Amino acid sequence: MPAPGVEFVRFGGNTSCVAVTPSGADSPSLVLDAGTGIRSVTELLAGAAFHGTILLTHLHWDHWHGLPFFAAGDRDDAQVRLIMPVGVGDPVEMLRRSMSPPHFPIDPSGLRGRWTFETLGPGPHLIEGLHIIAGDVPHKGGRTFGYRVEDGGSSFAYLPDHRPAADGPLREAALDLARGVDLLVHDAQFVAGEDSIAAEYGHATVDQAVAFALDAGASELMLFHHSPARSDAALDEIINAVAGRSLRISAATEGSDRQL
């Protein structure tokens, strides 16, 4: 759920969306997830239509329910390639289950511009000139991918919904995505005292995210996918509590611009 209100002003309250601008470009051409934060991507394009790719990690509502409100993608001159993990079903039909009358005024075919709807499998891909590796990560409620994005000599990993698993293939696959990255953007929705709830939802606690980042040898960890109940003050306390670890740790802030 988005979290409006004065308690959520500094870190922000929209759901998951990260815009990526390749080196040498002036505007983003890759968008990771399409939560309500995607509305802000229109502002980054300064009046231009979006020409690029939206890459979804999975189909839980909070990761795509901003899609029909992406103004830069819903216009006649837009060109949008929407991709989701293979194996979840036909992509248009999956979106149509929630985005169609009587639940919503239009279905995906009602989006203006030139849209394509595709799936991709695990492994390496070249998307918008960026080298991307997709991999399965443990998360309840349907197939979920994490992504590693490489551009030149820089890299970051995006694992917004991830329950760090015990030793096994999925743990190794997740670690491979994050191994040695400059920046790891990782699920940290819960804190240690909420671990039983985190397990039920298939998410990570802050301590688990830190341990995972250390195991992967990431240079920096950005805590992401904040609980909608977590106020600015509560997030400040979390960051203060993990300060001084052997890697840099920050909390994702809406609208922040990070250059790698």
Radius of gyration of the chain (CA): 17
For the chain, the first-to-last Cα distance in angstroms comes to 30
Name the strand (E) or helix (H) holding 214. helix 206-216
Residues for the chain: how many in total? 260
Name the strand (E) or helix (H) holding 199. helix 195-201
CA 26 to chain centroid, in Å, comes to 21
Name the strand (E) or helix (H) holding 119. strand 114-120
CA–CA distance, 194 with 79 (Å, rounded to integer) = 42
Please tell me the pTM assigned to this model: 0.96
At residue 188, the pLDDT reads: 97
The residues with which 54 forms a beta bridge, in sequence order, are: 31, 82
For the chain, domain boundaries? 10-251
List, for the chain, all residue ranges whose pLDDT scores fall below the cut of 70. none
At residue 168, the pLDDT reads: 79
Taking phi over 0 as left and psi of -120 to 50 as alpha, with beta for the rest, 123 belongs to left
At residue 243, the pLDDT reads: 86
Helices (H) and strands (E) in the chain, counts: 6, 12
Residue located via tokens 């500094």: 10
CATH, domain 10-251, list 3.60.15.10, 3.40.50.1980, 3.30.450.40, 3.40.50.300: 3.60.15.10
At residue 176, the pLDDT reads: 96
Tokens of 237: 């306390």
Residue 114 has a CB neighbour count (10 Å cut-off) of 12
Residue located via tokens 């890759």: 30
CA–CA distance, 161 with 96 (Å, rounded to integer) = 23
Identify the CA nearest to 254 among candidates 1, 17, 89, 31: 17
Residue 87 has a CB neighbour count (10 Å cut-off) of 11
At residue 245, the pLDDT reads: 82
